[in-house]
Amino acid sequence: MSTTQPSGRPTSEQRHDELLQHIGGMLLDAAPEGFRRIDLLVRMTVAVQDAALKVYMPDGSTPEVVPSEGLNAAFQEMRQVLYQPGRGAWFSARCVVNAPARIDITYNFDHDPRFDPPVPAADFARDLQAFPRDEAYIPDWLRAKLVEASTSTSASASASTEEQNA
């Protein structure tokens, strides 16, 4: 009896593995020959994508490396693939490649990604609309951002109304 999957869309686990291989390939292509470690920190919401890439050489130097064009798109898809209804999507991911090609990735679903510079609270509210979370999975820092976003939205709405009435 055959246990093969019918052809068609890959499962989210398969797509995750494919994307991880693709990301790893892009990082390896960007790194100089003889690197010791590649360290990538990605922070994302639906409105903002930030990637910090550092490559370490055996002598301790860290040459300037420009990530591949498709890196952000791959991570945006990774957020969609790993989205868990009710639980949400990750806000940051750390990807480490140790020579010659061992790749490890961790995802942060719960802690403030600490964008630098900080992003508007409204970006987090938009992200929550795209990747809804149950109340139990909204951490305190995110709840505070949502309050800040609704307060600034209310303030700009009333300022707009006052301008129209003037």
pTM for the model? 0.83
**How high does pLDDT run on average in the chain?**
88
Task: Please state the φ and ψ torsions of residue 13, each to the nearest 5 degrees.
Answer: -65, -45
What pLDDT, in 10s, does the model give residues 72-125?
A: 999 999 999 999 999 999 999 999 999 888 899 999 999 999 999 999 999 999
> Residue 53 pLDDT > 70, yes or no?
yes
Residues 19 and 26: beta-carbon distance below 8 Å = no
| Residue among 158, 32, 20, 45 at smallest CA distance from 112 | 45
> Residue 35 pLDDT > 50, yes or no?
yes
- H helix intervals, the chain: 12-30, 71-82, 121-130, 140-165
> Residue 38 pLDDT > 90, yes or no?
yes
The predicted model gives 55-67 an average pLDDT of 94
